[in-house]
Amino acid sequence: MGGRFDISIVANDSLTAEQNIDTCIAEITRIENLISDWKAETQIGQVNSNAGIKAVKVSPEVFRLAQRALHLSKITNGAFDISFAAMDKIWKFDGTMTQMPSPKAVRKSVENVGYGNVMLNAKRSTIFLKKRGMKIGFGALGEGYAADRCRSLMLERGIKAGIVNGSGDMNTWGKQPNGDDWAIGITNPMRKDSIFAIVPLKQGAVVTSGSYEKFVLFNGKRYAHIINPATGYPVTGLCSVTVFGPSAEIANGFSTSIMVLGREKGLKLLRQFPQYSSIMITDDGKVLSSPNIDVSKFKL
């Protein structure tokens, strides 16, 4: 999925652990071959190839994932947009960018983005993109979904503890061999070589979205790699958002959305989902949290 997966399994012997890790790897690969928007032969690749032409039938699993992604697009008013994959990559964060893109280029970069043009037909299990040039993609939602699926598979197979980390989308269950909860470190965005908090997790997911790794500076202002799908401009205000909850897929959608929405709208969104909580760090280093999380419990 374009990222790194780290899988740890607690088992009675190394052979059992290795076999179950192989099962997770096979499941991750299976999901990638269903939903990757980089591979033309996947179901989502076919949906994108037929944008503006015809609806494409997909499996029930892919359809349900698209339904959830479209629902997230709607409840966040496009802060997360399932059609963001069509965005022109005019912002470069590899050191090659020497000037700001023009306002015209920015407007053009999002002209094919718009979740309102994604048509789902539940009876036929089809997806249709109304405009030519449109694309849909699940971004890190796919990695979160894969992490969720691995946890479910392991529990079904009797594996009582483990952790799956899909490029920062972490899903845990059970305890470490010494009986301790899993300890998840959250990077301090102000000092990337240090940990801001260590969070104990028994069975749940934690996902962090941040703008502190990839960015460019123009006229003293930082422009980071998380782009607002509605405007085409990098988000500002928050440099790190960590979301906790039962699903890595949903937590990722929320963390990305809150980066775009900002503090107030982000907290308003989370209030509708009391199973999820968040820690946010502003560009100037202020630490904020949703009301249902006690920051004082963490190792700061």
Beta strands 215-218 and 204-210, pairing class: unpaired
Please, which residues bridge with residue 171 across strands? 164, 205
Q: How many residues does the chain have?
A: 300
C-alpha distances (whole Å) from 102 to each of 48, 85, 117, 239 are: 28, 21, 26, 24
Write out the H or E segment, with its range, that includes residue 216: strand 215-218
Q: Is 140 annotated as a binding residue?
A: yes
Cβ–Cβ under 8 Å, residues 236 and 247: no
Residue with tokens 């009675």: 12
Residue 221: count of CB within 10 angstroms of its CB: 11
Cβ–Cβ under 8 Å, residues 287 and 295: yes
In the chain, DSSP finds a helix count (H) and a strand count (E) of: 7, 14
Give me the helices (H) in the chain, please: 14-35, 43-49, 60-75, 103-109, 140-156, 248-261, 263-271
Q: Is 98 annotated as a binding residue?
A: no
Cβ–Cβ under 8 Å, residues 138 and 82: yes
- Residue numbering of the annotated binding site for Mg(2+): 140, 256
- Annotated binding residues, written as ranges, equal 140, 256
